[in-house]
Amino acid sequence: MKKGILFSILSLLIIVSCTSEKKKIPVSESIRINQIGFYPNSIKQFVVVDSIPTSFEVLDEQGEVVFEGKFQDNGIWEQSGEHVFLGDFSSFNKVGTYVIVVDKKEKSYPFEIKQEIYNEAFKASIKSFYFQRASMPIEEQYGGIYKRNVGHLDDTCLFHPSSGKNEGTLNSPGGWYDAGDYGKYIVNAALSTGQMLNLLEQFPTVVQDSALNIPESGNGISDLWDELKYELDWMLTMQDTDGGVYHKLTGKNFSGFISPEDYNLDRYIIGKGTAATLNFAAVLAQASRLYKNIDSVWSQKALDVSEKAWDWAVKNNNVPFANPDDVKTGEYGDAEFSDDFYWAAAELYISSKNEKYLTYLQENKEPYIHQLTNSWKFFVRNMGFHSLLENKDVLAEDFANELTNDHLKLADDILEKISKNPYKIGLNLFEWGSNSDVLNQAMILCIAHRLTGEEKYIEGAEQITDYIFGKNATGYCFLTGFGSKKVLFPHHRPSHSDGIENPIPGFIAGGPNKDRQDSAEVTYESDFPAKSYMDVQPSYASNEVCLNWNAPAVYVLGYLEQNRK
């Protein structure tokens, strides 16, 4: 009897000991995984670095092993200096919350497998634009703890001499703050709004009315369209009477890290040039056709001002913008306009059916490439391609087929890069805003999937989103407010002036940047390009937020949510 009692006690101690050991397994920074999770039927991969692992287990919330696997040795990644091992558990598809345990001694951050896995991240990535609104307060009923008072009414903006005017003021309220600063810039506004309009054109009901809890919720119109129109209505104020478009609305210098209501610098209308005018023409033409059945009067106005802008650009086809000597805010300079003309002509042809725009497209082909870095400058040609591909019914068959073949060739090239990359992404160049580069690659793959329905393309887009949410050489989930290893100190004035510990959620951080332009102010922990990122407020080169980094995230997450059901 005593032996039986003793045996039972020993057995209990062993169970308690084993359970205790499971709980003591530490989370390892060497395991890089999507910290949000995966769709049940999606590809599911992670990487391990800084060790030579042999096997892994997937554990559920009860600590039970639900999947076992081995590693693939992916070799050394020159961009991070790491020996990378890939784990794959794509065949496991049971809904739940899990961790990865490697060799029974270290575990990953938790993640989920479920339908609509990106729904909250998708909505937050759009809601971030609401938090960037100028000229209105962020009220508690819409912004919660991130409420703030109104700033930048922009009702009496001065004309800088570079605008071509020397007196008077311009009433130019509304729109979004461009990035971590309080400027408003036409070229970046156009690209960013256009990418999200692409999503609305493909999936008009992707965001329902009242889904985002913004002031316009409940008006019977998609909250995404309402948010985009807030920016477009500001853009309309930036057109001169002759059709040309002013380049930007900023102070002469950046402000300190203060709240919008505390900003006391004069606001100026600065510059007028070919790029701003053509980008304005493109996005307003694009918006005009998508809003036609909602507000026909606004739609016609948008098309009219777009054509007026085109006419000005044709007459003024080489007017580059550069910051005047007394202006230090973001430049967004560009001296090559063929791609801007192409995007504008594409949108104007689709929306107006005027043959002169088609003639321009046929006589002025652009190379079908994805040129990395500065998407506001180089991705505009792709914007033209993408809208034409979505509207192939208005094109001659040979033109439509040529565009389709070129797009699939570009997408296949990205897939080839993914197959050769140890982290399974298509990016090997890490410059300013690298996260937007990789997300734009995902956008290209999503469109290839839309054209063909082939699984390989959407799987490639999923591997890229894995990178954004933690399967990267820094281990960070780059969307503020999400993941276990969070971005906490983005270069973002509202987030650093509101007195709240956590930053406003829903922003994509810029990401690793080999050039580290802020290195005089920031000490980077690594010289490797893929690790050249610091989650500190001064790091504008790697940790700033920006409209054109969030816009492709909105598109990609929205596309996946519509197609992974």
Q: How many CB atoms lie within 10 A of CB 9?
A: 10
Contacts of 131 (CB under 8 A, 6+ apart): 138, 143, 146, 494, 504, 506
pTM confidence score: 0.95
Residues labelled catalytic = 181, 491, 535, 544
The average pLDDT across 310-334 equals 98
Q: Name the residue range of residue 96's domain.
A: 27-113
Domain count of the fold of the chain: 2
Domain assignment present for residue 191? The answer is: yes
Q: Which of 19-23, 364-368, 412-416, 500-504 has the lowest mean pLDDT?
A: 19-23
CATH of the domain at 436: 1.50.10.10
Confidence band for 5, pLDDT divided at 50, 70 and 90: very low
pLDDT for res 162: 98
Same domain, 261 and 148: yes
Same domain, 144 and 78: no
pLDDT for res 565: 77
Same domain, 160 and 300: yes
Domain assignment present for residue 103? The answer is: yes
**Where is pLDDT greater, at 166 or 252?**
252
**Final residue of a structural domain among 90, 113, 136:** 113
Is 528 within 8 Å of 50 (Cβ atoms)? Answer: no
Same domain, 165 and 47: no
Same domain, 141 and 228: yes
Same domain, 97 and 224: no
Angle between helices 455-468 and 434-452 (to 10 degrees): 160
Per DSSP, what are the bridge partners of residue 272? 246
Per-residue pLDDT tens digits for 240-249: 999 999 999 9
> For residue 29, is pLDDT > 90?
yes
C-alpha span between 424 and 407 (Å, rounded): 21
Confidence band for 376, pLDDT divided at 50, 70 and 90: very high
Same domain, 554 and 474: yes
DSSP label at 504?
A: P
pLDDT for res 12: 38
pLDDT for res 505: 98
> For residue 16, is pLDDT > 90?
no
Domain assignment present for residue 34? The answer is: yes
**Final residue of a structural domain among 46, 78, 113:** 113
Angle between helices 296-315 and 274-290 (to 10 degrees): 160
Same domain, 87 and 231: no
The average pLDDT across 524-535 equals 98
Domain assignment present for residue 499? The answer is: no
Same domain, 95 and 128: no
Per-residue pLDDT tens digits for 286-311: 999 999 999 999 999 999 999 999 99
Contacts of 296 (CB under 8 A, 6+ apart): none
**Final residue of a structural domain among 92, 113, 134:** 113
Confidence band for 23, pLDDT divided at 50, 70 and 90: low
Confidence band for 20, pLDDT divided at 50, 70 and 90: very low
Same domain, 97 and 124: no
Same domain, 193 and 274: yes
Domain assignment present for residue 513? The answer is: no
Among the residues of 205-336, which ranges form H helices? 223-236, 274-290, 296-315
Domain assignment present for residue 529? The answer is: no
Mean pLDDT of the chain: 95
Q: Which amino acid is at 289?
A: R
> For residue 336, is pLDDT > 70?
yes
Query: For residue 109, what are the CA distances in angstroms to 59, 106, 139, 287?
Result: 12, 10, 34, 41
> For residue 13, is pLDDT > 60?
no
Domain assignment present for residue 504? The answer is: no
Per-residue pLDDT tens digits for 446-485: 999 999 999 999 999 999 999 999 999 999 999 999 999 9
Same domain, 109 and 239: no
CATH of the domain at 93: 2.60.40.10
pLDDT for res 113: 98
Per-residue pLDDT tens digits for 82-123: 999 999 999 999 999 999 999 999 999 999 999 999 999 999
The average pLDDT across 43-48 equals 98
Domain assignment present for residue 516? The answer is: no
pLDDT for res 204: 97
C-alpha span between 128 and 352 (Å, rounded): 32
The average pLDDT across 369-386 equals 97
Confidence band for 24, pLDDT divided at 50, 70 and 90: confident
